[in-house]
């Protein structure tokens, strides 16, 4: 907790202790949130876990023990989806945050028309994934899309491809789209972080004659590291969940090269010729464990160097 | 040397801006052209500005219904979220009690839950309680979905309010509830507006829950409605573009007006 | 249901009972009141009979007109009954049904196809065995919907897999179609190369929004090469895909792909768009598709139909070298209607479907929709503006034997998913080798 409020809350706590913790107030304040949480978050998680041990059909539920999980282990489509999603989640932060960092540092000096630029960089994030998917499916269109038209204009006809139609290029093409979406957002956040740095330290570094690179590495970077790490975790988590973009553009094709776990769960639950919800629940449960594990690992690794505000 | 550096930076800036905003701009121009005009040349500037496409999409293609549904669901969800989230955040920030951090952590950790872990069971639950395919059911799900991030942002803000204010109020005889309404909330207005805008943007664009939990055509929200023009014949690019603009513009406007507050609020969470 | 029988209550605050003149009027007032009540109650009770119906074919004008006409006739024959129909696109329909059926909010009557055995496995469909006059329905069509002891769907649409082509473009290429309408493997490959050389796309298939159009070439070829029994075994996982005949056929298909048989936008081209690609813009030489082609092609041109006087020809799909059955063709029951087993108006729904089971309705379907049907029809009575096309279609089928069902109908679960990705999509897109196809299909059993 920031130093100022630690003192304040200690004083407040002193008063609270003197009066006793106002349990009734606490209950009133927490009850609505707790109800929502239990009814629509906690209970569904347990229900999904429960489903995963059953065959869940409209008329009946049949206990099948670990059968769903056994099938899961052998399911190549699932493991393909896991690989795709992890690749996406690991490469995205690298691109999104580094591009944003480079540009933010370059823009550290005040630039005219900042507000206009900020709005322009933020627009990709303001659009829903559905809108983004539709627009980029057009941009990647083989015959008249912006990418291929541009390549042809530059005389690079041999580089034109059906970007979303070939397995080798489909996933990278989608990763490019999310990079496009989130770089602007990251840049805005980083700029704000840079501008909120205490100016005395920067001036002191300048006086010390650190040189431009030295200043960067030894002074600025350590101070914005928490922001950068937070953005990395945010980006990672966001890609682990991704559904809408893939659904609108490739639906997991071609040949499962863009199949993400969320797409696979949705397809198994609502598109395959079966009403069984048990198997997709098993997929969701395993994925949940994987996501949790990854995030905990990431936080642990980052926390070694810096205490994140939790 | 300095001026050259400046020029390079400005150039890179403009390139990046064109890259980021280009697609939006392209769709904006296409929204004012008819599909046959577009098929002839996809990148031309609109010759005649077909403003009539907007009312056409609105009145003749059910867009008004989708827009209204989205409006209803998002406004209700955001109001509930703000109240419930603020109460919980205030409680976590200002009161010390056993398990405070534990409960806070539990609620916060659900931010990383992938929606798939809950979507199937939520579907079953809503069916069980007769809330499936209803805007009320969707609203409730949305509230639960955004609660963690709301509480997170508000809690860090509430925690910074100096405790003396509360002490003084208690000594003056205010009840805990009154303290919340009269002191915490008014001071936290910047953070509240941040969460309001954030939630509005995220819920306005939400797709997965909407597509699973709503089946009736007249209860559809905007992200589902956009797909309406994607029939199976030649893609009606002109109308789809118009539809996209109707979906995007409200959000861009909200952002343009409140961008300062939003940045402040978001960086309050991300920055030390 | 009607409260008319209830005797009128005597109001205690009514003083008229004292006057004998007025009290004589009371029974008549009561009678008028009860008649009035009966009149009000009658339409209300009848209005309760509204059938909800969800159907595919939102974009197919002729089929919509046919079904809506059938609805009008049914409503006329049963006063007080209304049928409320909502038209969908197929993928949206299936998604909505999946959730609605589970939630108990499904319509009374809805569109389904034969591959949806999960509906039957979960007892979601009403048994139509006794409520429909099956004497007026082709036995193979009834068979397609018969599972165990019951028949669960009404087979309205049936279709054969045809190869449509543009006779003018064919003539421009200087190629003559053989008298029996069938090229052999080498000649067909040659035709593909000739078309490409002239910048014409040979076949306008597209798999953007359906799991079957890319596979037609392959499975028709396999059917001809293997013959009915072995093809059936292959579809059901009893014959290995490494069988040399299968590999030979796949290799030939790969040659077609490599010669540029399919459009570059193959993976994203939607079904409706591929129709337009064939007959309007940019125009292709051939289009292999089920005979419900005409349901879209005969729409007016501004609604996605083919141009007026389009030179449409029909040919057989190529004969395979050493093929066991070169005049075998796939015939599938297509769009059908089923009744929701949980519907309170089940019997009314079944009666509605029964209203389709007359030769008159069958002929009407043929004449207007120009696709085959499961209803028994009297071919001699076909008239109307498209009678010429129908004769052409009949001629193209005169010496065929039929295998009932397309792969996506016969396969289930994992093999179906792999077939869709590998044979329907990846092989024609040129993304995969024949060995890979064999390996993945064998592994998916």
Nearest-10 crossing angle of helices C244-258, C434-443: 130
From residue C148, how far is each of A166, C47, C136, C152 by CA, in Å? Answer: 43, 36, 21, 10
A37 touching C, CB under 8 A? Answer: no
Which B positions 2-61 lie with beta carbon below 8 A of chain A? 9-10, 12-13, 16-17, 19-21, 23-24, 26-27, 42-43
Least confidently predicted of A19-28, A90-99, C70-79, C80-89? A19-28
Q: What is the pLDDT of residue B259?
A: 67
How crowded is the C-beta side of A301, counted as CA atoms within 13 Å?
10
Q: What is the pLDDT of residue B266?
A: 55
Cβ A111–B111 below 8 Å, yes or no?
Answer: no
Average pLDDT over residues C230-241: 94
Q: What is the pLDDT of residue B232?
A: 59
CATH architecture assigned to C50-155+345-371: 3-Layer(aba) Sandwich (3.40)
CA-based nearest residue in chain C for residue B217? C86
What average pLDDT does chain A have?
83
**Does pLDDT of C17 surpass 60?**
no
The position carrying tokens 């306005």 is B204
Cβ A164–C268 below 8 Å, yes or no?
Answer: yes
**What share of chain A has pLDDT > 90, as a percent?**
34
**Does pLDDT of A187 surpass 90?**
no
Q: What is the pLDDT of residue A309?
A: 43
Least confidently predicted of B199-203, B264-268, C333-337? B264-268
Q: Give the dihedral sign, CA B249/B250/B251/B253.
A: positive
DSSP letters spanning B4-70: HHHHHHHHHHHHHHHHHHHHHHHHHHHTTS-HHHHHH-TTPPPSS--TTHHHHHHHHSSHHHHHHHH
- Give the homologous superfamily in CATH for domain C159-332+390-443: Periplasmic binding protein-like II (3.40.190.10)
Q: What is the pLDDT of residue A37?
A: 92
The position carrying tokens 């205690």 is C12
Least confidently predicted of B30-44, B141-155, C264-278? B30-44
Q: What is the pLDDT of residue B267?
A: 57
**Tokens representing residue C46 in the block:** 């009848």
Cβ B17–A120 below 8 Å, yes or no?
Answer: yes
Average pLDDT over residues C314-332: 93
Pairing of the two strands C50-55 and C109-112: parallel
Q: What is the pLDDT of residue B164?
A: 83
Q: Band the pLDDT of C2: cuts 50, 70, 90.
A: very low
Q: What is the pLDDT of residue A16?
A: 46
**Does pLDDT of B108 surpass 70?**
yes
**Does pLDDT of A5 surpass 70?**
no
**Does pLDDT of C399 surpass 50?**
yes
| Contact pairs from chain B to chain C, CB under 8 Å | 43
What average pLDDT does chain C have?
86
Classify each residue of A220-233 as buried b or exposed e, where b means 16 or more C-beta atoms within 10 Å of its C-beta.
beebbebbbbbbbb
What are chain A's domains?
1-52 (no CATH), 67-305 (1.10.3720.10)
Q: What is the pLDDT of residue C22?
A: 43
Reference C285, options C197, C397, C202, C361; nearest CA is C202
Residue C287 burial by Cβ neighbours in a 10 Å radius (0-12, 13-18, 19+): buried
Cβ C270–B232 below 8 Å, yes or no?
Answer: yes
Q: How far apart are the first and last CA of chain C?
A: 57
The domain locations on chain B are 61-270
Average pLDDT over residues A195-224: 71
Q: DSSP alpha helices (H): ranges in C104-146?
A: 117-121, 139-144
d(CA B71, nearest CA chain A) in Å: 15
Query: In a 3-state reduction of DSSP, which class is residue C165?
Result: strand
Q: What is the pLDDT of residue C5?
A: 41
Per-residue DSSP letter, C358 = S
Q: What is the pLDDT of residue A308?
A: 43
- Give the homologous superfamily in CATH for domain B61-270: MetI-like (1.10.3720.10)
* Residue, of B99 and A205, whose pLDDT is higher: B99
> Mean pLDDT highest for which of A296-310, B168-182, C143-157, C367-381?
C143-157
**What share of chain C has pLDDT > 90, as a percent?**
61
Tens of pLDDT, residue by residue over C269-308, are 889 889 999 998 889 999 999 999 988 888 888 878 899 8
Least confidently predicted of A103-112, A288-297, C120-129, C194-203? A103-112
DSSP letters spanning C368-392: HH-S-BSB---GGG--STTHHHHHH
Under a CB-based contact definition with an 8 Å cutoff, are residues B247 and A131 in contact?
yes
Q: Band the pLDDT of C10: cuts 50, 70, 90.
A: very low
CA distance C348 to C402: 34
**Does pLDDT of B34 surpass 80?**
yes
The domain locations on chain C are 50-155+345-371, 159-332+390-443
Question: Which segments of C133-206 are extended strands (E)?
Answer: 146-147, 150-151, 158-166, 201-203
Which A positions 73-112 lie with beta carbon below 8 A of chain B? 103, 106-107, 109, 111
Tens of pLDDT, residue by residue over B167-215, are 888 888 888 888 888 888 888 887 888 888 889 988 999 988 998 888 8
Q: Report the residue from B123, B211, B232 with minimal CB separation from C271.
A: B232
**Does pLDDT of C18 surpass 60?**
no
Tens of pLDDT, residue by residue over A265-287, are 998 888 887 888 999 999 999 99
Cβ A275–C265 below 8 Å, yes or no?
Answer: no
Q: What is the pLDDT of residue C261?
A: 94
A290 C-beta neighbours (distance < 10 Å), count: 16
Which A positions 278-307 lie with beta carbon below 8 A of chain B? 280-281, 283-285, 287-288, 291-292, 295
**Tokens representing residue C96 in the block:** 């909505």
What average pLDDT does chain B have?
84
**Does pLDDT of A1 surpass 80?**
no
Q: What is the pLDDT of residue C439?
A: 94
Tens of pLDDT, residue by residue over C142-159, are 989 999 889 999 999 999
CA distance C104 to A60: 14
Which A positions 167-226 lie with beta carbon below 8 A of chain B? 180, 183-184, 188-189, 192-193, 196, 224, 226
Collect all residues of chain C within an 8 Å Cβ-Cβ radius of residue B232.
59, 89, 209, 270-273
Q: What is the pLDDT of residue C423?
A: 95
């Amino acid at each position: 907790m920031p130093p100022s409020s630690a003192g304040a809350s200690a004083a407040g706590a002193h008063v609270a202790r003197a009066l006793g913790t106002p349990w009734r107030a606490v209950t009133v304040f927490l009850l609505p949130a707790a109800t929502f949480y239990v009814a629509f978050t906690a209970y569904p998680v347990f229900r999904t876990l429960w489903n995963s041990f059953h065959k869940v059909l409209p008329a009946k539920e049949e206990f099948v023990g670990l059968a769903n999980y056994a099938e899961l282990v052998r399911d190549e489509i699932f493991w393909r989806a896991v690989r795709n999603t992890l690749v996406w989640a690991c490469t995205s932060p690298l691109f999104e945050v580094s591009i944003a960092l480079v540009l933010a540092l370059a823009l550290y000096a005040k630039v005219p028309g900042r507000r206009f630029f900020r709005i322009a960089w933020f627009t990709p994030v303001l659009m829903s994934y559905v809108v983004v998917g539709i627009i980029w499916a057009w941009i990647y269109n083989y015959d008249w899309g912006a990418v291929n038209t541009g390549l042809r204009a530059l005389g690079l006809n041999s580089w034109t491809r059906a970007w979303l139609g070939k397995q080798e290029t489909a996933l990278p093409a989608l990763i490019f789209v999310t990079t496009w979406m989130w770089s602007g957002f990251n840049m805005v956040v980083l700029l704000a972080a840079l501008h909120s740095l205490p100016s005395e330290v920067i001036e002191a570094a300048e006086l010390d004659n650190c040189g431009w690179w030295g200043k960067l590495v030894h002074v600025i970077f350590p101070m914005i590291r928490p922001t950068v790490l937070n953005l990395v975790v945010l980006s990672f988590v966001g890609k682990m969940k991704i559904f809408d973009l893939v659904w609108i553009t490739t639906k997991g094709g071609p040949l499962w090269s863009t199949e993400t776990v969320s797409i696979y769960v949705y397809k198994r639950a609502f598109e395959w010729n079966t009403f069984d919800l048990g198997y997709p629940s098993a997929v969701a449960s395993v994925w949940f464990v994987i996501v949790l594990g990854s995030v905990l690992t990431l936080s642990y690794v980052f926390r070694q160097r810096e205490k994140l505000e939790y | 040397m300095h001026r050259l550096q400046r020029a390079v930076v400005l150039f890179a800036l403009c390139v990046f801006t064109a890259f980021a905003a280009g697609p939006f701009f392209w769709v904006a121009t296409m929204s004012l052209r008819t599909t046959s005009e577009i098929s002839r040349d996809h990148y031309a500037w609109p010759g005649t500005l077909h403003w009539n496409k907007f009312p056409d999409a609105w009145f003749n293609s059910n867009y008004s219904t989708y827009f209204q549904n989205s409006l209803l669901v998002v406004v209700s969800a955001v109001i509930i979220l703000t109240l419930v989230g603020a109460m919980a955040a205030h409680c976590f920030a200002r009161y010390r009690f056993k398990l405070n951090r534990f409960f806070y952590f539990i609620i916060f950790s659900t931010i990383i839950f992938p929606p798939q872990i809950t979507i199937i069971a939520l579907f079953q639950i809503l069916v069980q309680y007769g809330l499936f395919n209803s805007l009320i059911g969707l609203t409730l799900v949305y509230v639960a979905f955004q609660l963690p991030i709301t509480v997170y942002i508000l809690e860090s803000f509430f925690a910074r309010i100096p405790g003396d204010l509360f002490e003084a109020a208690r000594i003056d005889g205010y009840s805990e509830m009154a303290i919340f309404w009269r002191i915490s909330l008014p001071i936290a207005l910047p953070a509240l507006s941040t969460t309001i805008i954030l939630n509005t943007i995220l819920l306005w664009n939400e797709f997965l829950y909407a597509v699973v939990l709503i089946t009736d055509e007249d209860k559809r929200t905007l992200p589902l409605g956009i797909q309406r023009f994607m029939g199976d014949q030649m893609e009606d690019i002109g109308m789809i573009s118009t539809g996209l603009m109707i979906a995007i513009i409200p959000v861009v406007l909200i952002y343009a007006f409140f961008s300062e507050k939003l940045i402040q609020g978001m960086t309050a969470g991300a920055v030390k | 249901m009607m409260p008319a029988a209830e005797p009128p209550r005597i109001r205690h605050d009514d003083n008229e009972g004292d006057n004998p003149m007025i009290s004589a009027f009371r029974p008549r007032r009561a009678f008028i009141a009860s008649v009035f009540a009966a009149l009000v109650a009658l339409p209300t009770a009848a209005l309760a009979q509204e059938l909800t119906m969800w159907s595919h074919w939102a974009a197919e004008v002729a089929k919509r007109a046919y079904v809506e006409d059938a609805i009008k006739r049914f409503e006329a024959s049963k006063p007080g009954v209304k049928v409320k129909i909502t038209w969908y696109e197929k993928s949206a329909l299936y998604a909505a049904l999946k959730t609605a059926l589970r939630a108990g909010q499904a319509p009374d009557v809805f569109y389904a196809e034969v591959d949806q055995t999960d509906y039957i496995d979960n007892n979601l469909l009403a048994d139509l065995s006794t409520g429909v006059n099956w004497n007026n329905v082709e036995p193979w069509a009834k068979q397609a919907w018969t599972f165990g002891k019951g028949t669960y769907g009404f087979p309205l649409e049936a279709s054969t897999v045809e190869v449509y082509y543009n006779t003018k473009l064919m003539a421009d290429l200087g190629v003559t179609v053989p008298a029996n309408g069938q090229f052999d493997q080498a000649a067909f490959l040659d035709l593909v190369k000739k078309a490409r050389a002239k910048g014409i796309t040979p076949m306008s298939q597209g798999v953007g929004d359906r799991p079957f159009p890319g596979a037609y070439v392959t499975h028709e070829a396999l059917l001809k090469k293997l013959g009915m029994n072995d093809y059936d075994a292959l579809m059901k996982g009893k014959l290995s895909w490494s069988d040399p005949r299968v590999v030979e056929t796949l290799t030939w298909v790969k040659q077609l792909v490599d010669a540029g048989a399919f459009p570059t936008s193959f993976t994203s081209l939607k079904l409706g768009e591929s129709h337009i690609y064939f007959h309007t813009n940019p125009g292709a030489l051939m289009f292999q598709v089920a005979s419900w082609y005409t349901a879209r092609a005969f729409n007016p041109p501004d609604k996605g139909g083919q141009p007026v006087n389009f030179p449409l020809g029909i040919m057989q799909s190529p004969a395979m070298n050493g093929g066991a059955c070169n005049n075998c063709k796939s015939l599938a029951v297509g769009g059908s209607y089923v009744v929701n087993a949980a519907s309170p108006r089940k019997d009314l729904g079944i009666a509605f479907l029964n209203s389709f089971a007359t030769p008159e309705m069958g002929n009407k379907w043929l004449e207007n929709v120009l696709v085959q049907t499961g209803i028994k029809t009297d071919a001699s009575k076909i008239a109307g503006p498209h009678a010429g096309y129908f004769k052409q279609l009949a001629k193209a089928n005169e010496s065929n034997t039929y295998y009932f069902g397309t792969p996506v109908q016969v396969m289930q679960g994992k093999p179906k998913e792999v077939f869709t990705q590998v044979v329907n999509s990846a092989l024609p897109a040129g993304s995969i080798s024949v060995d890979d196809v064999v390996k993945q299909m064998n592994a998916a059993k």
